[in-house]
Every structure is written in C-alpha cells, then in structure tokens.
Homo-oligomer: A and B are copies of this chain.
Amino acid sequence: MAEWFLNGAAVEQVAASDRGFQYGDGLFETIAIRDGQARLWSYHMDRLQKGCTRLNIDMPAMSGLSDSLNAALQQSNALSGYSVVKIIVSAGTGLRGYGRISADSPTVLLGVFPAAPLSINSYRDGIDTVLCQTRLAVDSPTAGLKTLNRLEQVLARSEFVNTGEFEGLTMDADDNIICGTMSNVFFVNNNAILTPSLDRCGVKGVMRRHVIQTLEEQGVDVHIQPVTLADLQDVDEVFVSNSQFGVMPVSSCSDLHWAVGKTTQKVMSIMADSGVVECR
C-alpha cells in the first residue's frame, strides 16, 4: 500500500474537481529510491519540466520537491533500502470544461511505495514478453512525455495481466515497435544497438536516457532508428530499460526467442558500474 502526501500532509484523497482526475491533465514520475537517494533525480526533474512546459503547468520548485520527497521518505520509514516514489503534478482543481480558467496552483501529490528487487534469474536469463494487440496512436501532441493520459498502456498491460509475462511490446499502426508498456526497448543487430524514436508516440524513459548517455560516454553508439515487426525476426538480442529495474535482457516475445547475448551483458555491466546496482 502506498502512503500519499499532499503539501507535506499524509492524505488519502484528492479533490474530485482536480483536473488530473477529470481529464488526466497532468504528469507523473516514478522514481527509484535506493538507500534514501532518488536515482536519476535530475533526469526525472528534466522530463517533468518538459512536460510542465508542454502542458503549460507551473513547474513546482525542484528544491521544494526534493524537500517533500525527503520528508515523505522519513514519514514512511523509507529512508533506507528499496522503495518507489511517485510524484504526480496535475493542473490543479478547476471549473467544468477543458479550458483552464481559474488560476489555481498545481496539485503536487507524492506517493511512497515499498518495493523489492526483481529476481536475479530475470537479470541472468531474461524475461518473457508478449507482442501487444493494442497499438499506440501516432503524432500525439504529448509524445515522449509521461502524462496522466495512460489508457494505451493500461489497455496493452491488460492483455497479459493474467498470462504471466513480465512485459509487453507495443507497436504503432505501421508495425513499428515503439516501447514496452512500462519500459523502453533496445535491439542488438550485427553488434549495433538500436532503439526506436519516441517523437511520434511512446514515453521517453529516464533509464533509456541514462543508457544512451552512459553508453555514448563509453564510446558505444546507440542508433535511434525504426525497428519493425519484420525486423524483430532478425535481431540478435533484445533488452528493456526502466527506472526501477534498470536494464533486463528479453528472452522471448510471443513466439520469438533470443539468448542473452554478449552485448546485452556488456550494457548491463556498464549500467552496474554507473550505479544501477541491480544490473550487477
């Protein structure tokens, strides 16, 4: 169970008229807490800032967010060990209608969730995935951002909630593979590392950014280019990234299977060295 905090006070509810509830008019970040530290905090804040700019919501002061985070961790006894913090920033309460007419300030809600590392077997042997039937709409005005409009992910996730796979890969209408429901996806093809562009749909994960940036600092290029369903038959390795689990090999997608390859292992080793300890 989560504990929720609004302006430092523990709460269980939000206003019914909150535009987050009425229209999904807001954004969120899901942050890994490791030994009391918010991992990739600056990347989360950067994406939140981009989202606030796009939605024209006043970005909360980062120092205030940081203070709220620490206070919430303290109140939840989550300052040590492993947990997840979700920060939701909505456009605040409003009148009926899509237009934001009142000058209400944003709602900043913070949730602390207990968590545990995933099994070491998953990191070693890879995870199973499905290819989702749900397609992502293209040319979304909020492509790449982590808004509160997440029905595509909810629908895609519902396809395998009862079948036990760890993740599902989603495509656009043109059979381009875009991302997982809660992760970004990378492919290894003839030793080149590829990942799809997320300029027309999908979410740009902070761990994806960390992977790309860290690899490039190590002289390993990541090519942002389309990978179609047909291409998937030919790739040598597949891995996924996510703020909580870091990087994880993919051993299958529906009826396709891959061994955990040397490139994925090298990426995981580089990630572990960069502080994403789960990848060790």
Contact = CB atoms under 8 A, between A and B. Distances in A.
A184 interface: no
A141 interface: yes
Contacts of A239: none
A141 B152 contact: yes
A91 B88 CA distance: 19
Interface in A1-53: 2, 4, 6, 11-25, 28, 30
Contacts of A18: 21
Contact of A21 (B6, B84, B98, B148): B148
A210 interface: no
A98 B135 contact: no
Q: Chain A interface secondary structure, helix, strand, loop or mixed?
A: mixed
Report the contact-size class of chain A (Cβ under 8 Å from the partner): 35 or more
Contact of A109 (B4, B16, B113, B152): B16
Interface stretch (A120-128, A153-161, A225-233, A258-266): A153-161
Contacts of A19: 154
A151 B14 contact: no
Contact of A13 (B13, B90, B98, B140): B13
A230 B23 CA distance: 31
B16 A148 contact: no
Nearest to A23: B150
Nearest to A54: B155
A137 interface: yes
Contacts of A113: 96
A14 to B, nearest CB: 5
A16 B13 contact: yes
A106 to B, nearest CB: 14
A222 B20 CA distance: 36
Nearest to A11: B16
A181 interface: yes
A197 interface: no
Contacts of A97: 157, 182
Contact of A56 (B6, B55, B88, B158): B158
Interface string A42-79: 00000000000001100000000000000000000000
Contacts of A86: 96
A136 to B, nearest CB: 8
23 contacts: A13-B14, A18-B21, A21-B88, A21-B90, A23-B151, A24-B150, A24-B151, A55-B151, A97-B157, A98-B153, A98-B158, A98-B181, A99-B154, A99-B157, A100-B158, A137-B139, A137-B141, A137-B143, A137-B201, A138-B139, A138-B173, A147-B151, A149-B150
